[in-house]
């Protein structure tokens, strides 16, 4: 749900923070990061870093 936007031409784009890949590669943290990420309607990097 979060990270999607639509431009003036009606094309949808997904925005993915560069740090998300790094957070998801940590086996001890990836599950908590994904759970926090899926609940968001607006991306909050600080919340993901604390997860």
Please give the average pLDDT of every successive group of 10 residues along the chain, which has 51 residues: 87 90 91 90 90 88
Distance of CA 49 to the CA centre of its chain: 11
∠ CA 13-2-36, rounded to 5°: 140
> Do residues 1 and 40 touch, judged by C-beta distance below 8 A?
yes
Residues 6 or more apart from 51 whose CB is under 8 A from it? Answer: 23, 29, 32, 33, 35, 36
pLDDT at 6: 93
- Expressed in angstroms, the distance from the first to the final Cα of the chain is 19
pLDDT at 9: 98
Reported pTM: 0.65
């Amino acid at each position: 749900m979060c990270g999607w936007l639509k431009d003036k031409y009606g094309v949808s784009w997904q925005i993915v923070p560069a740090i998300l890949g790094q957070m998801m590669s940590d086996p001890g943290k990836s599950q908590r990061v994904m759970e926090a990420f899926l609940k968001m309607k607006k991306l909050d990097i600080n919340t993901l870093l604390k997860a």
